Each structure stands twice: as structure tokens, then as C-alpha cells.
Amino acid sequence: MSVDTSKVADTNAGTAATPKKPGKAGVVANWADERLGLGTLMKKNLRKVFPDHWSFMLGEIALWSFVVLLLSGVFLTLWYTPSMGEVEYQGSYNPLRGVEMSEAMASTLRLSFDVRGGLLMRQMHHWAAMLFIASMMIHLLRVYFTGAFRKPRELNWVIGSLLLLLGTLEGFTGYSLPDDLLSGTGIRAADGFMKSMPVVGTYMSFFLFGGEFPGESIIPRLYTVHVLLIPGILLALIAAHMLLLVYHKHTQWPGPGRTEENVVGFPMLPVYAAKAGGFFFIVFGVSALMGGLLTINPVWKFGPYDPTKVTAGSQPDWYMGWPDGALRIMPGWESHFWGVTLSWNVFLPIIVLPGLMFTILMMLPFLESWITGDKRDHHLLQRPRNAPTRTAVMVALMTFYGLMWAAGGNDIIAIKLHLSINQITYFMRAAVFIGPVIAFIITRRWCISLQRHDEQKLLHGYETGIIMRSAEGGYSERHLPVNETEAYTLTAREREEVWTPGDETDANGVPAKRGRFDGLRAKLSTLMYADNVQPVTKEELEAAHHHADHEHELQASLDGQPADGHQFDGHHAVDGENLRGDH
């Protein structure tokens, strides 16, 4: 690129240069900068670089669907009445006209049938909520599988986990607001979950409902929680999540020119802002299309909540499906003592299990750094195969989650696949324990196989698909070395060392500090690293290349001939070159 020199003064003669009159935008920007000091802030951040990869945009789906939730949610609050006061429905949905219901339900029906665009907004809000939590989960998976949670990002992992938890609670409170038969059944179930807690359960239930279920307070209270309390905390945590993202800078995939010290990508303005802004419209569009075309939560079919009624297919929204599944497959264990019943069948699957799983989720970064003893900063991502045990842990957790989730839909599976709901339940009771173990073993070995494949590719080249026939008549497939970019990318990872407890005494004979769990830690570290394939060393690569050179000499007579093995590897252009000579 040549520099445009026409604007550079090439003489001292003539009049002095005067600044051009600033444009209107410039005047406004200057006004704001002089008062707010935005210039310094923006100079730095507008040029902030983000690396480009599709998997880095999954968190963005969550962010943008949250914006859709805020927008559509504000619309809904304008018509929704958070009250359990009884009214007789007189709206335009005929089959329920004249039925007694809460004002909450009546206003939801009004929103659906009598407010222009109301049903679209309701459905958009609901779909966006489903997408919000789903995208947080796939974002979580991406972060975990690529090792982006390692130091210094552990706290952002914790914040993200809290966002997932709060998003789930926010979803549940929103699901409950219409006060229809389905959501009322959900609140009734939640009441039962609370009451399963020993000692405090009943008090908590009475405190939440303002007396015995259902009372008259639960809907207004959930409304406050749904539109004020949780969204406020969500917003604050999202802000913290993103500030930390800016502070830590984004992680990137390893490659030539990409190090732990830099970020290679596109600047915020104009590139990334355009991409991200465009993605907002896509997320909005997908939510709008789903809201407009796909029925979600048809409250008019459920009718108002009435504790004497229930419907088949009463499930929570998908993100609460897995604890519901745990509840469905739990054997009916109960203990009775001193006239008190302790419902293990409810308490364990719905109170203890989600708490336990969530704790495990939050602790994952800390557990790994404790096992590996790795306290360094990491800004380069790892491919899932290069951390086989970590990948296998998450796949095992996903398997557990997925099986529980499927158990939550056991009735639908039973009628759609013509199975027995009892047999599904028995199967799941075993599968939730066996499945994750199998998934762990398979994934770990699979990753290690892929690592071996990478090593082969580096040392012996890639398979060209060209079969060579030697003078002796033997056949072999020709391998060619991978190009330098790929070779760099494949080797750009650290060697791993199995953590071992140090000697009993240090060099001066002073007993070394020993942790109580050192033995366990050493075992876990062995599990984590011992079977992994370590990156190829320089010596190994050189030896392999030497070996390859030797082979190339043998095949040299073929170079320059048709079918020299470079037709498909991009090493040189093949325009005008025929694979089979001239015919």
C-alpha cells in the first residue's frame, strides 16, 4: 500500500494550514468530550480488538436475547395486572367467558386476545427467555471445553454460573405469573419442594405465600421478584461479566502471531460493532419469528389455576426439566420419626441435587487449578481434545443432565415412542449413574486418539489419498507434511506435567509442608495428564522431517510429473495441470 502524499506539505511557502471547520457531528462530539471526557475512554475502547470465531458469539446470543426480554417485558408490564383478586372474565375468548379467575390470569388473557400485538409480545418474551438460558448454557460449554475459565477468568466463570442460576429463577417466576393451570401447578410443586426441607420448610412456605398455599400474595410477590429484583441483579452481573471480559481481554485460538500477550482480531469499531449489532437484529428476528409462528404456553387452553385441576403434560419450562426428571425417577423414600415425615423422595432430587450440581459447576475452575497446580495466566484457548479429562468431565456432566432432562419428559416419550413410562423410569434410575461413567471413558479415550492423530499428522504428514506403487509392486499411501501454519497451530500448546507431592524433606532436611489431600491430588493429576499425548518436540519434528526427506528423495522422480501428490493440498496451483497427463 502506498502512502498518499498529496496532503503532506512539501514547501514552507504559501499560507499556513488552517483547520477545517468541524462538521456537526464533530461539534457535538467535542461538546460531549469536554464535559464527560469520553474521548480518552473511547479512543482506547473503540479500537479494542476482539478475535473472530463463531463460538465466541454464543454468549452474545444470551446478551441479545436478554435485551429482547427487557424490551418485550416492558410492553407486557403495561397491561399485566399482578393481582390474585377474583374477577369474572368477560374478554373476547369465548370458552372462558364468565369463568371466575384471578386478575393476573384475566389480564394475561386480555394481553393475548384484546391487546394489539399482545400475544406476539407474550410469545416473543417466552421464546426469548428459553433462548436466553439455552444460549447461556452453550456459552458455558464453549468456555469450559476451550479452557477459557482458567486463570485469570475464574471469577467470571462464577459470575456466569450465577447468571445461569438467576436466569433460571427469573424464568420460573415469569412462568408463574399468568396464574393459569400449568403455572399454578408449578407453584404448587414449588410449595411442596420447600416443605420437603426439614424444620425450616414449612416456615419458608408460609413466609413466601403469606399463609397457607395459595393465599393471595404469591403473584404480586413473584411479580416484584420477576420485574425488579432479579432483573436488577442480572443487569449488574451482566455488566460485571462484560467489564471483566474487557479487562481480561478476549481469549483467542493459538496460531501464528497469536501469543499469551496479544489479541489478534478486528477492532470494535467499525468491524466488531457492526457484527455484534447485526447479530442483535438476528436474535431479535429469530425471537420475533418464533413468537409469531410458534405457540408457546397457550394459557387460554389451560384456563385459570384451580387446585382441584391438573393436566397431563404438566412440565416446567425446559431449564427446570432436569430436576423435574430427577424427581420423577426418584424412588418413593420417606422416613418417619417422632411424628414427622421426611420426604427424601422430594428433598434429595429437587433441593439437594440441584444445589450440589450447581456447586460442582461453580467449583470446576478451582478444582482443576488445584489438581494441576497451574497458577499461570492463560489467554490462549485449548482444543477440547487437548484436555481429554476435562472434556470428558463435562461430557459426563452433560450426559447426566441429558438423561435427567429426558426423564423429565418421560410421559411424552412414553406416548410418542409407545413405551412404558414405568420401564423408562427404571431405565433412567440406572442410566443416570452408569451413563456418565461410560461417557467419561469414551470421551477421554476419544480425545487421546485425536491427539495421537494430530501427532501422526505432524510427524508423518497428512494422508494425500494418493496410492503409490513401488518398484517392487508394493502399495503405500503418500503422506505429505502439513503446512507451517497448521504445524504451528498443532504444536502451540504447553507440555503437561503430572503433579507429584514433593519429597518428605526439602534440601536442608526440613520436613516439607504436606497437604492432607496430597495423595488424592496426585492421583487426580495422573488421571488428568498421564495418558495425554504431549506436543511434539523440536527434535522429534526434525527427526521426522529428516525421515520424510529421505522418503521424498525416493519419490523425487515423481515430482514435476502429473500426480506428484500436490494436486489437492494447496501447495501449488494446479490450473492447467492435468491429473492424468494430457488425456
Partner 1 sequence: MRLLNRTAGRISRHRRGRLAGVVMLMVGLVLTGGLYTVFAPAQADSAESDAALVAEGRELFLVSCSFCHGKNGEGVLTEGGTQYGPSLAGVGAASADFQLGTGRMPLARPGQQVAVKTPVFNDDEIEALSAYVASLGPGPAVPDESDYSVEGLTAEERQEAVTRGSQIFLTNCTACHNFSGNGGAMPRGGAAPSILGTTPEHIYEAMLTGPGNMDVFSNGNLSPEEKRDVIAYVSQLREQPEYGGFGLGGLGPVSEGMFAWLVGIGSLVGFAVWIAAHTTRSTKQPSKGADA
Residues 79-108 that bind partner 1 (CB under 8 A): 94-99
Cα dihedral 42, 45, 48, 54, rounded to 10, equals -110
Q: Please say which residue, 294 or 543, places its beta carbon nearer to partner 1.
A: 294
370 is a site residue for partner 1 (CB under 8 A): no
Task: Find the shortest distance in angstroms from Cβ 164 to partner 1.
Answer: 15
Task: Determine whether 534 is exposed, middle or buried from the number of CB atoms within 10 Å of its CB (0-12, 13-18, 19+).
Answer: middle
Helix H, strand E, coil C: the string for 246-264 is HHHCCCECCECCECCCCCC
576 interacts with partner 1 by CB under 8 A: no
Answer yes or no whether residue 489 interacts with partner 1 by CB under 8 A.
Answer: no
Q: How far is the CB of 33 from partner 1 (least distance, A)?
A: 27
Which among 51-59, 340-348, 366-374, 509-517 is the span making contact with partner 1, rule CB under 8 A? 51-59
Closest listed residue to residue 70, CA positions, set 172, 170, 193, 219: 170
- Give the shortest CB-335-to-partner 1 separation in angstroms: 26
Among residues 131, 230, 371, 394, the one that binds partner 1 under rule CB under 8 A: 131
Among 341, 423, 449, 476, binds partner 1 (CB under 8 A): 423
By beta-carbon proximity to partner 1, the closer residue of 222 and 371 is 222
Only one of the segments 52-60, 231-239, 255-263, 342-350 lies at the binding site for partner 1 (rule: CB under 8 A); that segment is 52-60
The mark string for 512-551 relative to partner 1 (x by CB under 8 A, - otherwise) is ----------------------------------------
When the beta carbons of 14 and 576 are compared against partner 1, the nearer one is 576
- Find the binder of partner 1 among 296, 398, 459, 563 (CB under 8 A): 296
Binders of partner 1 in range 431-460 (CB under 8 A): none
Span near partner 1 by CB under 8 A; candidates 127-135, 352-360, 365-373, 516-524: 127-135
In order of 391, 470, 548, the CA distances from 554 in angstroms are: 42, 10, 10
Looking at the Cβ atoms of 31 and 568, the one nearer to partner 1 is 568
Q: Tell me the torsion sign for CA atoms 321, 323, 327, 329.
A: positive
By CB under 8 A, the residues from 134 to 193 that bind partner 1 are 134-135, 138, 181-182
> Is 81 or 297 the residue whose CB approaches partner 1 more closely?
297
Indicate the DSSP class of residue 463: E
313 contacts partner 1 (rule: CB under 8 A): yes
* Segment 57 to 76, residues that bind partner 1, using CB under 8 A: 57-58, 60-61
Q: Which is nearer to partner 1, 306 or 506 (CB)?
A: 306
Kindly state whether residue 269 participates in binding partner 1, applying the rule CB under 8 A. no
Contact region with partner 1 (CB under 8 A), list: 19-27, 47-55, 352-360, 496-504 = 47-55
Is 1 a binding residue for partner 1 by CB under 8 A? The answer is no
| Candidate residues 107, 112, 173, 252; the one interacting with partner 1 per rule CB under 8 A | 112
10 Å Cβ neighbour count for 484?
Answer: 9
Distance between CA atoms of 167 and 426, rounded to whole angstroms? 32
Q: Cell numbers 493440498 correspond to what residue?
A: 569
For residue 389, how many other CB atoms are within 10 A of its CB? 23
Determine if 252 is a binding residue for partner 1 (CB under 8 A): no
If the CB atoms of residues 161 and 315 are measured against partner 1, the closer one turns out to be 315
Distance of closest approach, residue 135 Cβ to partner 1, in angstroms: 6
| CA dist list (Å): 148 to 48, 140, 364, 488 | 19, 10, 12, 20
Q: DSSP letter string over 529-563?
A: HTTSPPPPPHHHHHHHHHHHHHHHHHHGGGTTSTT
- Residues between 316 and 345 that touch partner 1 (CB under 8 A): 316-318, 321
Name the H helices within 37-148: 38-45, 58-77, 103-113, 118-145
Work out whether 499 is an interface residue with partner 1 (CB under 8 A): no
SS3 46: coil
Which CB, 277 or 515, lies closer to partner 1?
277
Distance, C-alpha 226 to centroid of its chain? 23
The DSSP-derived string for 410-430 is HHHHHHHHT--HHHHHHHHHH
**Binding flag, residue 294, partner 1 (CB under 8 A):** yes
Q: Examine residue 400 and tell whether it contacts partner 1 (CB under 8 A).
A: no
How buried is residue 375: exposed, middle or buried, by Cβ count under 10 Å (0-12/13-18/19+)? exposed
User: Do residues 60 and 286 lie in contact, with contact meaning Cβ atoms separated by under 8 Å?
Assistant: no
Residue count at the site for partner 1 (CB under 8 A)?
A: 79
Q: Rg (Cα) of the chain, in Å, rounded? A: 31
Distances (CA, A) of 517 to 134, 284, 370, 522, 530: 37, 50, 11, 9, 19
575 binds partner 1 (CB under 8 A): yes
Tell the smallest beta-carbon distance from residue 129 to partner 1 (Å): 9
